[in-house]
Structure 1
C-alpha cells in the first residue's frame, strides 16, 4: 500500500534564477520531482509573491538562490527576514549547459537540485550591518583610486609628448609637485595652439587629481572609523591596517559565523594548499581560487610582517635554510595569518547591530 503525500505535509525545495528585472523560481520535492516554475518581478511585491508561491507547494525546507551578492541580494535578504533558509548557488557550468540547455526555468530547477544534492551548502552574506556599509564605502574609494592613477598616467604621458618647454620643466619633478604646478597653469585662449591646449588639459587633469585625492582622504577617514568600531581586535594584529581589515571584513560578511572552520576561511581566501603530487613527487601548488582581493590583503600583511615582525622574519630564515623559496614561504605565512584572523572574526557578531525587521523595500 502506497501512502499519498499532500501538499501541506510534503517537504519541498526551491530554486531561483535571478535577473535584474525578474526572478524565475522553481520547486521540487524531496526526491527531485519537478512541481512547477514561475516568473516573478524583482521588487518587494514580487519577493512576497515568490515566497508565498513556493510555500504553497508544501513545507519549504531550503531555497537555493543564484547571485546572492548581485541580482539576488534583495531577494535573499527578504527570504531570510521571514525566517526561510537560503543557500548560495553557483550558476551551472558550461558543460552542464551544453548537455541540458539553457533557460531560466532550467537554471532555477538546477539551483533547487544543487541544494537537494548537497553541492550548494554555502550561506550567503547577510548584507545588513556595518560590514556592508564598509563594503559600500570601499567601492567608492576603489574607483577613486583607479581614476586618480589613470589621471596621473595621463598627465605624465602628456608631459612626455608635449611641447619641449613643458617637458623640460616638469618631467624630472616628483608627482606631487607636477600636480601642484599643473593645477596652477594659466593657458591662453588659443586652443588651436598645441602648447595652450596641452596646458589646458594638464590643468584639468591635475585639478581632477586633487579632487580625487580629497575624496580618497574622506573615504579613508570614514572607513577607518567604521573598521575601528567593528573590529578593533583585527586592527590590533601586526600588519593589519584599516584598508586591509576592511577587505577581510567584506570577504567574511556581516555574519562571519557562516564560515564554519579556519580551513573554510583559508579556502575562501585562496590560501589552502592544493595537492599536486604524482608518483614519488609530493608537493602543493599555488591555489588560484577563492576571493583574490582577500588573498591580496593577506599578502600585504605577510610582506609587512617580513619587514617588521621578528616572528615572521625568524620563520622565513628557518624555512629558507630548509630549502623553501621566498614565494613558498609567503604562501605558508598567508595560511598562518588566515588562521590567526579567523579566530578574531567571531567576535564581530557581538559588535554588529542586530538584523532589522522585515522591510518592504529591498
Structure 2
C-alpha cells in the first residue's frame, strides 16, 4: 500500500509544556509516537508529523478544555476532524502501565474505535468569553463567602465587649460597621484591639469583592442576553443560571447528540440499576455538577412560583414520591426543555 493511501488516526496526551502524539493506521497498528512543545510552532510540527504517515482522518485529544485547548484550536483551524478522548480507566492503566506514549496510543485507538469520545467544545466564541468572566465571578463569590465566615468566627471568640456589640448585626450592618472602624486602637497585643483590626481588614475585603462581583454581573448579563435571549426569558432562569447552562453546552451546542445526552451531561439522567427481578434506577452523581445545580435552581424557583409545576408536585406527592424524587423528575423534564432552547433558540420556546 502506498503511503498516501494510508488512513491515519492520531492521539495526543496533553500536558502543560509538552504534548505527546501517537499515530495508528486503520487497523490500530502503531505507526510512531513523538513529543512536541505546547506552542504554536509545536502544534504545527505535531500536525505535520501526523500527516507524514498518510491521510490524517481523525485526531483524539485528551483535555481539550485544559492543556489541549491551544492544540484543539490549531487543529480545528486546519480543518482536522477532532474528538475529545477520556482518560484511560484505572483498570487499563494497571494492566498496561502509564507513560505519555502509552496514553497517546490509547487516545488514538479510542478515537479510531469511537470509544468514550465526544465532540469537544469550540472555544473561540461568545460562550468562551462568558466562561472566562464566570470563572472570575465564581472565585470572587467564593472568596467573599469565606471572608464572611471568617468575620463570624472572629466575633464568636472575640472579647465580650466586641462580641456583644457585633454579634446581632446583619451581614450588611456588620461589614459596614467593621469597615468604618477607627484606624487607631490601643496596643496590638490586646485581643480586643487585634480582633477589631482583623475585622476591619476582612470587612474592607468583603466590600471590594462585592464591587468586583457587581462589575462582572454588569458584563455577564448583557452577554448572556446577546447569546440566547429566549433562554434568559424562560421561567426560573436568570443570568447566573443561563450563563452556567450556556457554558456547559459550549459555543457549539449542536455537538450534543440528543436531549438525553444533555441530561446525562448535567447529571440529571437516572442510571439503570436493575438486576434479575429488580427493575429500578439510581441517582446519577456524575456529569457537570454546576449545570446540575443550575437545573436545581430552576426547579426550586418554579416549585415556588409556577402553578403548573406546583400542580405536578401535588400530583406526584399523592403518588407517594418524596420531595427529593420529585425534584429529580423535574430536573430531567427541564433538561429536555433547556436542550431545545440551547439547540434551537430561534424557533422554539421553552415549555411551560
* TM-score (structure 2 length as normaliser): 0.96
5+ residue gaps, structure 1, are 351-362
Task: Give the Cα–Cα distance (whole angstroms) in 1 for the partners of residues 53 and 209 of structure 2.
Answer: 53
1:135 matched to 2:131: yes
Alpha-carbon distance change, 189 to 42 in structure 1, aligned in 2, over 3 angstroms: farther
1:58 matched to 2:54: yes
1:96 matched to 2:92: yes
SS in 2 for 1:125: coil
Is the Cα contact below 8 Å between 1:65 and 1:89 reproduced in 2?
Answer: yes
Out of 91-100 and 181-190, give the one that drifted further.
Answer: 181-190
Out of 278-287 and 85-94, give the one that drifted further.
Answer: 278-287
1:197 matched to 2:188: no
**Pairwise CA distance, 1:280:** 3.5
**Pairwise CA distance, 1:168:** 0.2
1:159 matched to 2:155: yes
Is the Cα contact below 8 Å between 1:64 and 1:120 reproduced in 2?
Answer: no
Q: State the partner residue of 2:350.
A: none
Task: Give the Cα–Cα distance (whole angstroms) in 1 for the partners of residues 248 and 237 of structure 2.
Answer: 15
Task: Give the Cα–Cα distance (whole angstroms) in 2 for the partners of residues 257 and 55 of structure 1.
Answer: 28
SS in 2 for 1:15: strand
Task: Give the Cα–Cα distance (whole angstroms) in 2 for the partners of residues 25 and 154 of structure 1.
Answer: 47
1:206 matched to 2:203: yes
**Pairwise CA distance, 1:281:** 3.2
Task: Give the Cα–Cα distance (whole angstroms) in 1 for the partners of residues 81 and 278 of structure 2.
Answer: 44
1:30 matched to 2:13: no
**Pairwise CA distance, 1:158:** 1.0
RCO greater where, 1 or 2, for CA within 8 Å and sep 6 or more?
A: 1
1:235 matched to 2:248: no
Alpha-carbon distance change, 189 to 81 in structure 1, aligned in 2, over 3 angstroms: farther
Alpha-carbon distance change, 164 to 189 in structure 1, aligned in 2, over 3 angstroms: closer
SS in 2 for 1:272: coil
**Pairwise CA distance, 1:348:** 5.8
Q: State the partner residue of 1:353.
A: none
> How many pairs does the alignment contain?
346
1:267-286 superposed matches below 5 A: 267-286=264-283
Q: State the partner residue of 1:292.
A: 289
Is the Cα contact below 8 Å between 2:86 and 2:117 reproduced in 1?
Answer: no
Task: Give the Cα–Cα distance (whole angstroms) in 2 for the partners of residues 296 and 334 of structure 1.
Answer: 10
Q: State the partner residue of 1:173.
A: 169
Q: State the partner residue of 2:259.
A: 262
Is the Cα contact below 8 Å between 1:87 and 1:120 reproduced in 2?
Answer: no
* TM-score (structure 1 length as normaliser): 0.93
